[in-house]
Structure 1
Amino acid sequence: MTKRKRWHDSYPEDVPVSIQYDEKPLHSYLEEAADRYPHKTALHFMGKKMTYSQVYQEASNLCGHLIKLGVTKGERIAVMLPNSPQAVISYYAALMTGAIVVQTNPLYVERELEHQMKDSGAKWIICLDLLYPRIKKIRNVTSLQHVIITSLKDYLPFPKNVLYPLSQKKNNNRNRDTNNDKNVHSFRSLVKQGTTLKTNVVINPQEDLALLQYTGGTTGTAKGVMLTHYNLVANALQCQAWMSKMKKGEEKMLAVLPFFHVYGLTVVMNLSIMHVCQMIILPKFDADLVLKSIHKHQVTLFPGAPTMYVGLIHTSSLKKYDLSSIEACISGSAPLPGEVQDTFEALTHGRLVEGYGLTEGSPVITANPIWGGRKTGSIGIPWPDTDVCVYSSDGTSVLPAGEIGELAVRGPQVMKGYWNHPEETTSVFIDDWLLTGDMGYMDEDGYFYISDRKKDMIVAGGFNIFPREVEEVLYEHPSVQEAAVIGVRDPYRGETVKACIVRKKGESVTEEELDAFCREHLAVYKIPRLFEFRQSLPKTTIGKVLKRKLLEEESHNE
């Protein structure tokens, strides 16, 4: 029986504080969906539809051919694809073989790709034809043996599949480049050809890895986070319980969060397959295309990142579209400004709530109740069977409500550890508590708040300043569309506060006006001393602002 926590009193009546977790492989949910809902549409991609039966059949075919190529349990298979049917099929096929999926960002350059392939020891990679030249350059210095190539046109309907190659002038050259390599295979051929070779790999969900998800983690360079089948199943089931009004087999999920990011993988792909949703797949975020897709397909669920919602509410064509089908959105990866939350809810009449997670947590740890009490500015309350506490800076004691320290978490979704990094694994755990690297506090009701990343905290003149607090104030200004606050070197104060601002279209707010606005809402030592107006902010593929890039730019300018 789960011990009663103060946040349990804030749970909606239909959300349990503890749930039963299935002791089965993650890929078994696709098989069950295909068996019980064979004719339900699983994927909709640029006009192409696939049923659950079709997705399962193609994943099974690919699984058989992967085994023929020598894949055995525990091998690593890299998947380097944008959101597409191939990304879903590849992921589940790899799991069926008993292999460990290595999700690889299609935007990686050779250096990043080489590091990930060497560290994971992947021998197989599934990628777009457009990405093959990068892979070819690093094959001889990594363990990669087999490359399976696909094209976006493989799953486009007529006439898009005919027109697509015309826009890819170098496509034929790339294809010729692979013709004489017997270890380069056609994805389309493998999934369309049935195989009699079946797999009955025995999976221990608690122990066997399903995924190596690379992250900077709480310290150091990119590391492979080891997530088991049980970790990923647990987090998807927790998400299902949190979104308590979901109707199995009836929801339409907008799949624009990248599947190669663990947030999109769990809250979009895994949850959709588990709950038999129809995924409306978009290969990248484009505000007009997102609005058009919600309007046309009557999307009900839209997990996203704050920058996505910001982009939508400031799109000039917004009024052309009906967004009232939206029922629920969980925002993650970065703080959700209250103004954005209120505006988006007014447009859709659905619910948009902020959550919190990290790759090491599969990833979701907390969220505001979707249909219940939420607190603006809070990351919400822990999900079922999840515990969160606030540790003192020296890691020796748990702090009471209201005091800022480092958040620590534990639960069935917390990682097994870092691949090939036992010492770093040990350094981020206190017993079974995972130290997150995020500074924050808990209020009297059990709601948690992020002050900022431990490493992002600005120390100016002896005062601790959390960038998020300053950003929240800047977002309240009617002329500010986006804001990012960083600490820059200062000969007197050690560090000082700099705000990078993107104005709303047509607005011309000045540095003096923002300074005056901040003085009304912040203590003097927190007010930005420097302002920089920009056309855009550097972001990850999921829309998280890359403050590291801003700091690098700053160091180059010194």
Structure 2
Amino acid sequence: MAEIQGGPLPFIPDDVTVPQFLLDSQHPSRPVAINADVSWLIDDSTGRKMGYEEICSRTNSLANALHLRWNIGENDVVCIFSPNHMDYPAMIWAIHRLGAIVTAANPAYTVEELVHQLRITSAKLILVHSRNVDTALAAARAVGISPQFIALVDLLPASAPGGADFITVPELIKEGSSQPASFAERKLAPGEARTKVAFLSFSSGTTGLPKALIIPHYALVANIVQVATFMNGDTRPMESRRFRPGDVVYAALPFYHVFGLAFVMHSLLFYGHTLVVVPKFNFVDMLKSIERYRINVLPTVPPMFVLLCKHPDVPKHDLSSVRYIHCGGAPLSGELTTRLAQTFPHIGIGQGFGMTEAFANTMTPLGQHVCTPGAAGVLIPGLTARVLRADGSVAAYGEPGQLVLRSSAMALGYLGDEKATKETFVDGWLYSGDEVTVNEKGELFVLDRVKELLKVRGFQVAPAEIEGYLLQHADVADACVVSILDEYHGDLPLAFVVPSMSAQARIKRDPAQADAIKAELVKHVADGKAYYKQLAAGVVLTDAIPKNPSGKLLRRILRDRARGMWKNGELSLGVKAKL
């Protein structure tokens, strides 16, 4: 099998920032001119609409206030710690107007996890949602950020202690709009967008704690053009096309995550879609929103897809407006695809494959109403791919190997981690860590991960991060985290633990202590890690962790053991599908 090509691209400007490209310019791949009368955003809970002119005004006013109040400027890092919000795009673009850098944090993070992100990125300012303010304050104290460098995305309830101490983003926008412009917008020289940093986005990498990827403005601009060029390849009459300017999109996928950030917020807005902004996903509420706003496009991850197949409330709602469901974040089983297609024959179903290191990479061919079961689509324009065997040679069609990509939309590397950068980005190629096959139609099938990552509800989880946290506990001598597979959650972490000598002595005296220790270790991880990193499949106590002569964990042995135990009914889940 030779290299796979995704097709040609139009010119990609390399002298503009992300907001300059999205808000201030027209590009041949953009299907319609910016229309001031069209709503860009709709608040799911209130129905409030926000159009182009208001977004531009809020972006520029906020940039002015950030510069006036905190002197945010060239290469300063601002952390956004919030669920989806109507001002999330304006916050990103205001920071970029100043030449500063965005690092968006998962609002489910614990204090320890946020501390890691703030410390790695050297963040100067935190924009935080009121529901996350306690975590932000504790993390800020730990890294030496003054409370005066924290602003609230929304209004803090009056009853909350210290509520008056924080200025809010709406107040900053009002403040910035009332003052003369205090900054000159950052302009880029030709070629500078290729290296000018826009985002420090976190990916689990292969080992240890999450790593900050250095993403330049050019990478996101390139991916917007890649996605738009793919969509423009649909030459059917407009009423038959999958993506149409003016479509209404359900935007519940988190904006801090690459799927929500690049595809939903940027590519779909660029293509003329309207986003219904949802802070927190709830399935029944989604069904109601589809009816209320006549949603046309549903970007989903597999747990949402499962609920569409199985939730008892689905038949109670009118979903006739939905024309296309796009699933990403983790592989989707062929069985679920077939089931949903049978339930909703009028809805097109597609899959995509992407990664923080290179944004969106594949999408289902435009001519397919329903994706090939198990396939993640074909390469979008501007990408080249190889499938490599373990010895580095190119695999044949249908033969498994590691997916290696070349794209204009690639990150520059990992911040402060030269080793990981050299392992992942090699001579202009991105080594994905995903084991795949490609058929003769160019369709990609994701089989497994070469890198030892888990995908829990679409989120990347590095087993080594959980293992390191377990090893801090006095009852743990050694640990190995693997997963069992669940159709709703994806990978569910399970820890094999070798008890410490003192724990073994307690178990010997009282065998009931084994269950108490397992429960304590589950709680230990639950207290210190985000919900999707918890030991949902529990803890198994074992005598030893298998390793090779060099000391590397033989994870596959324990993974096979765990899945055998699950199949035989020896494990029970500690989580249920969130409806």
The question of 1:209 aligning with 2:210 is answered: no
Counterpart mapping for 1:234-273 below 5 A? 234-244=222-232, 245=241, 249-273=245-269
Judging changes above 3 Å, is the alpha-carbon distance between structure 1 residues 297 and 230 closer, same or farther for their aligned structure 2 residues? same
Judging changes above 3 Å, is the alpha-carbon distance between structure 1 residues 341 and 202 closer, same or farther for their aligned structure 2 residues? same
Check the 8 A contact 1:253/1:299 in 2, yes or no: yes
SS at match of 1:174: coil
Corresponding residue for 2:17? 25
Check the 8 A contact 1:406/1:436 in 2, yes or no: yes
Judging changes above 3 Å, is the alpha-carbon distance between structure 1 residues 353 and 338 closer, same or farther for their aligned structure 2 residues? same
Larger RCO (alpha carbons 8 Å, 6+ apart): 2
**42-51 vs 321-330, greater mean Cα deviation:** 321-330
Offset of 1:267 from its aligned partner?
1.0
The amino acid of 1:201's aligned partner reads: R
Aligned residue among 426, 432, 436 for 1:430: 426
Q: Could you tell me the TM-score, scaled by structure 1's length?
A: 0.76
Judging changes above 3 Å, is the alpha-carbon distance between structure 1 residues 482 and 416 closer, same or farther for their aligned structure 2 residues? closer
Judging changes above 3 Å, is the alpha-carbon distance between structure 1 residues 286 and 249 closer, same or farther for their aligned structure 2 residues? same
Judging changes above 3 Å, is the alpha-carbon distance between structure 1 residues 134 and 483 closer, same or farther for their aligned structure 2 residues? closer
Check the 8 A contact 1:215/1:225 in 2, yes or no: yes
The question of 1:173 aligning with 2:212 is answered: no
Offset of 1:111 from its aligned partner?
0.6
Check the 8 A contact 1:147/1:185 in 2, yes or no: no
Q: Could you tell me the TM-score, scaled by structure 2's length?
A: 0.73
Corresponding residue for 1:536? 575
Judging changes above 3 Å, is the alpha-carbon distance between structure 1 residues 70 and 6 closer, same or farther for their aligned structure 2 residues? closer
Counterpart mapping for 1:213-228 below 5 A? 213-228=201-216
> Per-residue CA shift, 1:183-228, capped at 9, x if unaligned?
x432221112313214321133211111111111234321111111
The question of 1:400 aligning with 2:396 is answered: yes
Gaps (5+ residues) in structure 2?
27-31, 233-240, 455-481, 497-541, 547-555
Q: Distance in 1 between matches of 2:389 and 2:313?
A: 49
> Per-residue CA shift, 1:290-328, capped at 9, x if unaligned?
111112211122111011111233222211222222222
Corresponding residue for 2:167? 185
Corresponding residue for 2:121? 120
**58-67 vs 143-152, greater mean Cα deviation:** 143-152
Judging changes above 3 Å, is the alpha-carbon distance between structure 1 residues 5 and 425 closer, same or farther for their aligned structure 2 residues? closer
Offset of 1:482 from its aligned partner?
6.5
SS at match of 2:558: strand
The question of 1:310 aligning with 2:306 is answered: yes
Counterpart mapping for 1:30-429 below 5 A? 30-32=23-25, 36-45=34-43, 46=45, 47-68=47-68, 69-142=70-143, 144-145=145-146, 146-150=148-152, 152=154, 171-176=158-163, 179=165, 184-193=166-175, 194=177, 195-197=179-181, 198-203=183-188, 204-244=192-232, 245=241, 249-345=245-341, 346-347=343-344, 349-361=346-358, 363-372=359-368, 374-394=371-391, 396-429=392-425
SS at match of 1:253: strand
Offset of 1:39 from its aligned partner?
2.6
SS at match of 2:201: strand
Offset of 1:538 from its aligned partner?
8.5
> Per-residue CA shift, 1:259-302, capped at 9, x if unaligned?
01111001111123312321101111111111111122111221
Check the 8 A contact 2:206/2:451 in 1, yes or no: no
SS at match of 1:172: coil
> Per-residue CA shift, 1:463-500, capped at 9, x if unaligned?
xxxx99x96xx86xxxxx66657888799994363677
Offset of 1:233 from its aligned partner?
1.2
The amino acid of 2:67's aligned partner reads: I
Q: Distance in 1 between matches of 2:492 and 2:364?
A: 25
Check the 8 A contact 1:77/1:123 in 2, yes or no: yes
Gaps (5+ residues) in structure 1?
9-15, 155-164, 459-466, 476-480, 501-524, 544-558
The amino acid of 2:298's aligned partner reads: F
Q: Distance in 1 between matches of 2:221 and 2:288?
A: 32
Q: Distance in 2 between matches of 1:528 and 1:497?
A: 11
Check the 8 A contact 1:226/1:417 in 2, yes or no: yes
Q: Distance in 1 between matches of 2:122 and 2:136?
A: 14
Q: Distance in 2 between matches of 1:288 and 1:485?
A: 24
The amino acid of 2:187's aligned partner reads: V
SS at match of 1:185: coil
Offset of 1:334 from its aligned partner?
1.1
Offset of 1:350 from its aligned partner?
2.1
Offset of 1:32 from its aligned partner?
4.9
The amino acid of 2:113's aligned partner reads: E
SS at match of 1:390: strand
